[in-house]
Amino acid sequence: MTADDVRRLLQAASLATPMALRVAVTLGLPDRLCAPATVDEVAAELDLSPIALGVLCGHLGTLGVVERIDDRYRTTEYGKNLCVEAENGLANLLDLNRAAGRAELAFVELEHSIRTGEAAYARRYGRDFWADLTEHPVLRKAFDQQMTDRFRTEIPEVVSGIDWSRFATLVDVGGGRGDLLAAVLEANPKLRAQLIDLEATAAQAKAAFQARRIADRVEVRGGSFFDPLPAGADGYLLVDILHNWDDEHARRILARCAEAAGRAGRILAIEAVSGIHARTEMDLVMLAHFGGRERRVEEFRTLASEAGLILTDATALTSQRGLLEFRAG
């Protein structure tokens, strides 16, 4: 092993830089320093330790996020990507008081996840991710926004990549704010749908459908996908749902879909497929945050058969997600 290898490994393992960036965003420094200011000025405004803030700004300078001009710091063009106003979703992801940032801190309990297979999140916060979101509406809002941001560019590909004309009725199970379902409904004027999600998110979906003037073709239900789902639809959609859950829960969700779909309905799961979409880091995120994971096609097949379903098709859909289709076995 060379000294360079040691240095690179140490750098990869260091928590200082990720935490410096996250704390900077949490304190709103990239936004604040769009107008140049001294460390003392910002420390007084935000009630921070001037010495510690100087240390943080020094490292942010090394990272190219801020630059020093005389005795003042200013956010660089690169650093402006971290501003709330950049509207790229990064600030929402990194802020430690919002859903993604808070969840990321659960990584300090990763060893617990690896030993037990359980989520690190519940170990750190005393309740699972979804219960925590229900307890803290501000986290719920941030998470729903995160879901909208992460899918924005991919939705057109998903809409055009599936033959929706096969379905007269569709149930979006855990459909979030309904961004995808709205786009599918807009592209398929004869389609009618239902969306199920937890109460607070369902309320947002309802408002979004009204704003897009498609509320007459979609019924929104606040509730749990562990309870019986509306029966008899042609299609049941699970988008980025199964990877949030361990096998037992994923099986229960699939079983609810199977029960509702009956012999004629089809179940479509859209998510990353392990071995095809190489997202090992996201795989760890699913484990630490939720006790879930990204599954291989064969694992989906096994889960489905345990829920009374047959995997009939597994195809590439986008660069990040596959399409898995199931029907009653």
Ligand X SMILES: C[S@@+](CC[C@H](N)C(=O)[O-])C[C@H]1O[C@@H](n2cnc3c(N)ncnc32)[C@H](O)[C@@H]1O
- 25-33, 36-44, 55-63, 171-179 -> range binding ligand X (CB under 6 A): 171-179
Answer for which of 30, 79, 101, 174 binds ligand X (CB under 6 A) is: 174
Answer for which of 95, 109, 118, 240 binds ligand X (CB under 6 A) is: 240
Q: Any residues with CB less than 8 A from the CB of 286 and at least 6 apart, and which?
A: 243, 244, 292, 293, 294
Q: At its nearest, how many Å lie between ligand X and the CB of residue 134?
A: 9
Is residue 132 within the footprint of ligand X (CB under 6 A)? no
Q: At its nearest, how many Å lie between ligand X and the CB of residue 175?
A: 5
Residue (176 or 322) nearer to ligand X, CB: 176
The active-site residue, picked from 243, 249, 277, 289, is 243
Is residue 241 within the footprint of ligand X (CB under 6 A)? yes
Compose the 139-158 pattern: x for residues touching ligand X by CB under 6 A, - for all others: --------x---x-------
CA dihedral 207, 173, 159, 146 (to 10 degrees): 60
Tell me how many residues contact ligand X (CB under 6 A).
18
> Which two three-digit tokens encode residue 79?
């650093």
Is residue 291 within the footprint of ligand X (CB under 6 A)? no
Residue (75 or 204) nearer to ligand X, CB: 204
Q: Any residues with CB less than 8 A from the CB of 271 and at least 6 apart, and which?
A: 238, 239, 240, 241, 242, 243, 294, 321, 322, 324
Residue (73 or 129) nearer to ligand X, CB: 129
Cβ–Cβ under 8 Å, residues 207 and 238? no
Is residue 260 within the footprint of ligand X (CB under 6 A)? no
Q: At its nearest, how many Å lie between ligand X and the CB of residue 104?
A: 15
Q: At its nearest, how many Å lie between ligand X and the CB of residue 153?
A: 13
Compose the 175-214 pattern: x for residues touching ligand X by CB under 6 A, - for all others: xx---x---------------xxx--x-------------
- The arrangement of strands across the sheet holding 169-173 comes to 218-222, 192-197, 169-173, 235-239, 266-271, 322-328, 309-316
Residue (2 or 319) nearer to ligand X, CB: 319
Mark whether 136 is an active-site residue: no
Residue (42 or 171) nearer to ligand X, CB: 171
Q: Any residues with CB less than 8 A from the CB of 192 and at least 6 apart, and which?
A: 168, 169, 170, 217, 218
Residue (109 or 132) nearer to ligand X, CB: 132
Cα(179)–Cα(199) distance, integer angstroms: 16
Cα(258)–Cα(310) distance, integer angstroms: 10
Contact footprint for ligand X (CB under 6 A) = 130, 147, 151, 174-176, 180, 196-198, 201, 224-226, 239-241, 244
Residues known to be catalytic: 243
